Chain A
Amino acid sequence: MPTDSLVKPAPPKTHSSPARKGWRRVGSRLSLPFLMGGGGVLIVGYLSIIVLLPIAALISHGLSISVATHGSGWAFWHWHVSFGFKTFWSAVTAVGSRNSIWLSLWLSFGVAAINAVMGVAIAWVLVRDRFFGRGFIDSVIDLPFALPTIVAGVVLLAIYGPNSPIHVDLFETWMGLMLALLFVTLPFSVRAVQPVLASLDLESEAAARTLGAGGARIFFSVVMPSLWPSVLSGFGLAFARAVGEFGSISLIAGGIGRTTTASYYIYNLTAGFLWVDAAAVSTALLVISLVVLVTTNVVSRRYQSRLL
């Protein structure tokens, strides 16, 4: 699960020592700089088919980019590229679209914030506390991650839906959506913080204690400052996940306007075969997720660089 997710360890430099003749020599001269090995080409081809080309197609449809050639041949000076920004804008600012994006944004923000707090609390209990069944709780944290999202939706409806055995009916309410999003984003928030908390230097806390600090002060002025970067990346991941989440809320949302999130709205557009509108709203949503992920990433990295 995510560690300090947005910060990846720098891969160790590979040595290109003057080795035996044979594959290594070929490898170091050719495949290293330009990824020319057969395996590399296959991988790039595969990624293009299942990720890159589709995303490019999505954005190009979303922004109504069209490329026409005039004259003959494929040379780029014959290309005529046109943007259909108007189509994009009207699709994104349609009432249904605006409402659903707004609903997704504030729900995701709230969910990421709540789970940031609960993530720290849960990680604390898992790392610092000792009690019977801790290992079990630790595995349960991964359940929302291992559970298919549609199952998560059914599971939540089983107790918080119509005919709720405990008489809490959250069907077609924003609280139901929030519950579903809290459920699916929980592992991201916990696992972002947990390894960092486990690796903290206990001596700093002991030092603060000998200097007279009490529990609350130690937590807020010694522990939390070291956790902020990971809490922030957990927040970013949870937010991005919540904005895009569909399966777990598809049932509890019920399909009425009040509880139509952005992803649900996009799905509705596809069900009506309005692919271009769907692509436009998708592009907007992509940009929002990207901005949030990059921002949390940059802030968390900048903060962390000072500590190391």
Chain B
Amino acid sequence: MSISLSHLTKHYAKTHAVQDVSAEIKHGSLTAVLGPSGSGKSTLLKLISGLEKPDEGTVTIDGEDMTHVDPRHRDIGFCFQHYAPFRHMNVAKNVAFGLKVRKRPKKEIDARVSELLALVKLEGKAKSFPAQLSGGERQRMALARALAIEPRVLLLDEPFGALDAVVRAELRHWLKELHGQLHVTTVLVTHDQQEAMEVADQLIVMRAGRVVQSGNPLALYESPATDFVHEFLGPSTIFEGEVTRPHDLELVSVHQGQVKGRITSIVSLGFEAQVTVELSDGTSTWVQLSRNELSAMGLRVALLVGVRRREDIDA
């Protein structure tokens, strides 16, 4: 089910939460809306779900104008940032809620619930209450609850925001797999570029209520439209007055590089090393090297080196 957003605008009191946002979200895609906090990405998600009404613009799902349809009739699955579990219901009842609202026969509900609990790997927890689950389990329960109604669109608000690093990485991987199985059109909101790059096949980058750039993650990484996108999507540094990726720079002997400088710090992060160089013009830049490169060149602090772009070699 494709989603089409056209000139969406939403004001709160005096702030423009979302301003003239248009975007196309393809059927079956996994789209990440990426932006710093306050960029309006969560509001955009609420506008798609109908939990907020736009001041201007339209939301079309699968060719149907949904702008004025109440969220309860939109057939969307929404996973909230803090999962919004129904605390007084056990896991099975949480998952069954949407089906009960739809007055499905009890047998069908039971079958569907156990199917979903198997899908999200919570088979043994059907009778547990949300208070007894871990963060990751609650997240999966929320997902099963949203999927139960066979939504046309799945919306996830900062789905991994409240989890610790290990669980986060696991769930990300799992979500990607799940999407591969179900092919439900999914929009997720995140402020974490790594998460977005890893999970999504489409990116919408937002800033201050507006869409800055959208498209394929790799394309955005390679050819960012603005310095903001450049800096937001990956590591960046400034070299010769331009924003550039630190792994697109290399260190050479002091005679080879056009730009010369002195190493001021070396930070080793396992496989990767970050070398900061103070250049002769007084500015400072940093270069990303592999551990092997670092040791092969015998780099140390205070050494004089040359800096140049890697593509210079091909040129």
- Point out residues on A near B: beta carbons under 8 Å: 201, 203-204, 206-214, 217, 221-222, 225-226, 306-308
Contact = CB atoms under 8 A, between A and B. Distances in A.
Closest 4 A/B residue pairs (Cβ): A211-B98, A203-B84, A225-B88, A210-B78
Contacts of B145: 207, 211
Contacts of A213: 72, 97, 101
A226 B88 CA distance: 7
Contact of B78 (A207, A214, A222, A306): A207
Nearest to B132: A306
B101 A210 contact: no
B86 A204 contact: yes
A308 B131 contact: yes
Contacts of B49: 210
Given A206-B80, A306-B131, A308-B131, A211 B87 contact: no
A306 B129 contact: yes
A214 to B, nearest CB: 6
Interface of A is mostly: helix
Nearest to A228: B88
Interface residues of B, number: 31
A28 B204 CA distance: 61
A307 B72 contact: no
Nearest to B75: A212
Interface in B95-130: 97-98, 101-102, 129
A222 B86 contact: yes
Contact of B84 (A201, A225, A226, A308): A201
A307 B85 CA distance: 10
A87 B89 CA distance: 52
A10 B96 CA distance: 35
Question: Which of B78, B85, B88 has the most CB atoms of chain A within a 10 A radius of its CB?
Answer: B88
15 contacts: A201-B84, A206-B80, A210-B50, A210-B51, A210-B72, A211-B72, A211-B146, A211-B149, A214-B72, A221-B86, A225-B88, A225-B89, A306-B87, A307-B87, A308-B131
Contacts of A222: 86
Interface string B57-101: 000000000000011111011101110111111000000011001
B257 to A, nearest CB: 54
